[in-house]
Amino acid sequence: MGKLKEKYLKQGIAEYSKRLSKFCKFQVVEVPDEKAPEKLSEAEMEGVKEREGERILAKIKEREYVFALAIEGKERDSEQFAKEIDSLATYGHSDITFVIGGSLGLSPAVMKRSNAQISFGKFTLPHQLMRLVLTEQVYRAYMINSGSPYHK
């Protein structure tokens, strides 16, 4: 959700994307976020999440296995995450999609469409920074699964 503006984040994601290219077809799909004022009512916040959710869902194909990144999701360590990625590929889920919501989070419709929810802890991180963290963790998972010492 949203456009990546910071050069250092773009460079980090580009580096891990390049490294991932030897393991998989890795692609970042940006979806425009909803412009909204700072102060919103509860109903307005839900409306923003709903409109953003519609844009996200329009990009997800039926066959994709979807991880929604959400604070209330299940925490995993890097080895568990790597095992899960490996298991998904083994059981025919070769198209894996990770969804990072906007500043208000993900809509109920996106959460319902997800096959699993993943949390990177209770910290609140800007969604642009989360893109870099997630990209590195996906790379780390592939490195763990290949037996590389990168993870140590």
What residues are designated binding site for S-adenosyl-L-methionine? 69, 101
Sequence-ordered list of residues with C-beta below 8 angstroms from that of 1, at least 6 positions apart, any chain: 30, 31, 33, 52, 56, 100, 101, 102, 127
What per-residue confidence (pLDDT) applies to 152?
A: 67
Nearest to 148 by CA among 15, 21, 23: 23
Do 1 and 100 form a contact (C-beta atoms < 8 A)?
yes
Phi-psi category of 36—alpha, beta or left, where left has phi over 0 and alpha has psi -120 to 50?
Answer: beta
DSSP string, 86-151: HHHHHTT---EEEE--BTTB--HHHHHH-SEEEE--S----HHHHHHHHHHHHHHHHHHHTT-GGG
Domains of the chain with CATH codes: 7-30+43-147 (3.40.1280.10)
Query: What pLDDT digit, counting tens, does each position of 76-113 carry?
Result: 999 999 999 999 988 888 899 999 988 888 999 999 99
Q: In this structure, how many other beta carbons lie within 10 angstroms of the beta carbon of residue 41?
A: 8
Model's pTM, two decimal places?
0.90
Binding residues: 69, 101
Low-confidence ranges of the chain (pLDDT < 70): 151-152
- Rounded to an integer, what distance in angstroms lies between the CA atom of residue 39 and that of residue 45? 9
Q: Provide the residue count of the chain.
A: 152
Check residue 151 and give its pLDDT.
66
Return the structure tokens found at 89. 């590929």
- Report pLDDT for 95: 93
